[in-house]
Amino acid sequence: MGDFNGLRIALSSLYAQQKAIQVTGQNIANVNTEGYSRQRVDMAADSGPVTPAVYSRYPGPGSGVLTGDTTRIRDQFLDLRSYQEHAVDAGLKESQSVLSRVELAFDEPSDDGLSKLISTFLSGFDDVANNPDDMAARAQLVEQGKTLAAGFTQLDAALATQRSSSIAELDSLVGEVNNAAAQIGQLNQNITSAINNGFSPNELMDQRDQLVAQLAEQAGITIQNGDAGQVNVFIGGTALVRGTQVSPLRVDVGTDPAQTVRVTWAADNYPAGVSGTAGGLLSAVNDVIPRYRAGLAAVAQQLATDVNAIHQTGYDLNGNQGLPFFTTDPSGNVIVNPAIVADPKLVAASASPTATRDGSVAQQIAELTGVGDAYQQLVVRLGVESQAVNRRVDVQASIVQHVDQAKEATSGVNLDEEMTNMLQFQHAYDAAARFMTAVDQTLDTLINSTGLVGRG
């Protein structure tokens, strides 16, 4: 044990406490930084040489403290859980917003939704039945029919617009995902070179984990630790980022009749198993919106079929057999037969070719209830689906909050704790300095005051 060992112990302690104070400062500085993980200096007692030898033994107390790496305090399993729950949450929120926009488009229950248009139109037949040869009543009925048909067409167009805007949203989302993946690849590389060069990669890792969390919400991912501080990011089991290699995604709008939209790997066009916001958007464009459009088209078709079936048994004011009241235009929308629009006399209200003041056929049409019922069921289905998603969003929000809290509990900065640590390290620094003074005084005694016996 050398004489100056005490000074070395004191010095190692001064270094260690100083670094710890700096790290505490860094933690306090980042108390509100999103995604920051608190850091700790790993300290270990330096026990001196550990290889014993006959003449080189070390009987001393050790040689101070070893200042190790500065590590991030983070629970990887909580991270994984958080990625999963956030992906589910983002997917549900997307579905919720799509369904709520569909509900807005339907605008029910109200005085100007399709339900009202249907009952107004059917009532119009009663007005014709009351005055079968009154051209005003007929013209009004035809107008009501046109309004109803336009109502169906407009609602369908609104849903179609929602679908195409969702596809555009998906497109830009996939762009963001590719961008984030590229940044993660770059950060992986920077982290490896930081580690190789002996710098602290902690802040780079925090940045990367932020991007990974963003990817989890946007597309639903799993991660795996790679070599040299890198992470690999997977979507549906296929690597989006492997080390520094990135495989970008693309949006593929199918050429099939339903124009199914897929998110695929740009390299081989093979579908990627995305969830999160992208999953929510995919279900909106491939399932939710097409389903309500089809439901609406079925109601419109039922309207045409039911009304036509009765209308064609009747006779118009000219004594001719009734034409179909509704036809379809080239784009498949239900419209009022243009011949009837041109001449409302062709509304077939009478059950007999000669009895022009008979309105019994029009009366039968006025009493149709199937169309209204089918439409109401469609609206109620929408309400039930939307309500169910709203509830799941609420439940998922509390799960996510819980997981986030657990993560924050592990990685977050507590100011009280940092202040306590700061006091602790400050006092330790003071004590180390005092220890150094003590050693100094011992040496002083040894050097300046020893062997002076009798000097006077």
Partner 1 sequence: MSSAFRITQRSVGLSSLSGLQAALSRLQATQSKLASGKAISRPSDSPTGTMSALRLRTSIDRADQFDRNAADGLARLGTTDNALTDGLSTLREVRDAVVQGANSSLSQTDREALAAQVDGLRQSLLAVANTEYLKQPIFAGTAGTAQAYDAAGTYLGDTGVSTRTIAPGVKVAVNTPGQDAFGPAGNDVFKVLSDISNDLRTNPGNLTTTDLANLDSAYVTMQNALSSVGSRYHQIEIMQARNQANQLDTKSQLSDVEGVDLPAATVDLQMQEVAYQAALGATARAIQPSLVDFLK
The pairing of strands 334-336 and 326-328 is antiparallel
Smallest separation, CB 350 to partner 1 (Å):
7
Report the number of secondary-structure helices (H) and strands (E) in the chain: 11, 10
Residue 116 sits in the site that holds partner 1 (CB under 8 A): yes
Among residues 11, 78, 253, 355, the one that binds partner 1 under rule CB under 8 A: 355
Q: At CA 20, angle to CA 16 and CA 22, rounded to 5? A: 120
Asked if 69 interacts with partner 1 (CB under 8 A), we say: no
> Whose CA is closest to 403, among 36, 78, 88, 92?
78
22, 47, 76, 120: which one binds partner 1 (CB under 8 A): 120
Instruction: Single out the residue of 359, 374, 403, 428 in contact with partner 1 (rule: CB under 8 A).
Output: 359
Is the dihedral angle over the CA atoms 267, 270, 275, 278 positive or is it negative? positive
Q: Which long-range contacts (CB under 8 A, 24 or more apart) does 205-212 make?
A: 205/72, 205/229, 206/35, 206/36, 206/37, 206/72, 207/35, 208/184, 209/35, 209/37, 209/74, 209/79, 210/34, 210/35, 211/180, 211/183, 211/184, 211/187, 212/83, 212/184
Closest approach, Cβ 103 to partner 1, in A, equals 4
Strands (E), 39-197: 39-45, 65-72
123 touches partner 1 by CB under 8 A: yes
When asked if residue 135 is in the footprint of partner 1 (CB under 8 A), the reply is: no
3-state SS, residue 449: helix
Considering only the stretches 87-95, 138-146, 340-348, 376-384, report the one whose residues sit in contact with partner 1 under the rule CB under 8 A: 376-384
Using CB atoms within 10 Å of the CB of residue 358, give its burial: 0 to 12 exposed, 13 to 18 middle, 19+ buried.
middle
Q: Which of residues 24-43 bind partner 1 (CB under 8 A)?
A: 31-32
Which residue in the set 404, 433, 436, 443 belongs to the binding site for partner 1 (CB under 8 A)? 404
Which of 70/376 has CB closer to partner 1?
376
Specify the residue, 119 or 305, whose C-beta has the smaller distance to partner 1.
Answer: 119
Give the count of beta carbons closer than 10 Å to the beta carbon of residue 179.
12
Q: How crowded is residue 64: how many other Cβ atoms within 10 Å of its Cβ?
A: 23
Residue from 339, 423, 431, 447 binding partner 1 (CB under 8 A): 423
Closer to partner 1 at the Cβ: 402 or 434? Answer: 402
Q: Give the CA distances from residue 12 to residues 8, 42, 43, 427, 428, in Å, rounded to whole numbers and listed in that order.
A: 6, 13, 11, 15, 12
| Alpha-carbon gap, residue 414 to 412, rounded angstroms | 6
Each residue 153-182 as x (binds partner 1 by CB under 8 A) or -, in order, gives: ------------------------------
Q: Which of 367, 430, 440, 444 binds partner 1 (CB under 8 A)?
A: 367
Query: Using the rule CB under 8 A, is 350 a contact of partner 1?
Result: yes
Interface segment toward partner 1; rule CB under 8 A; list 79-87, 236-244, 352-360, 438-446 = 352-360
Residue 106 binding partner 1, by CB under 8 A: yes
Residue 326: φ, ψ to 5°: -110, 145
Among positions 179, 225, 401, 437, the unique one binding partner 1 when judged by CB under 8 A: 401
Q: Is 416 in the site for partner 1 (CB under 8 A)?
A: yes
Closest CB to partner 1 among residues 248, 412: 412
Contact status: 321 vs partner 1 (CB under 8 A): no
Q: Which of 164, 389, 384 is nearest to 289 (CA)?
A: 164
| 379/439 with CB nearer partner 1 | 379
Residues that bind partner 1 (CB under 8 A): 31-32, 99-100, 103-104, 106, 108-109, 111, 115-116, 118-120, 123, 126-127, 129-134, 317, 350, 352, 354-360, 363, 366-367, 372, 376, 379-380, 382-384, 386-387, 390, 401-402, 404-406, 408-410, 412-416, 419-420, 423
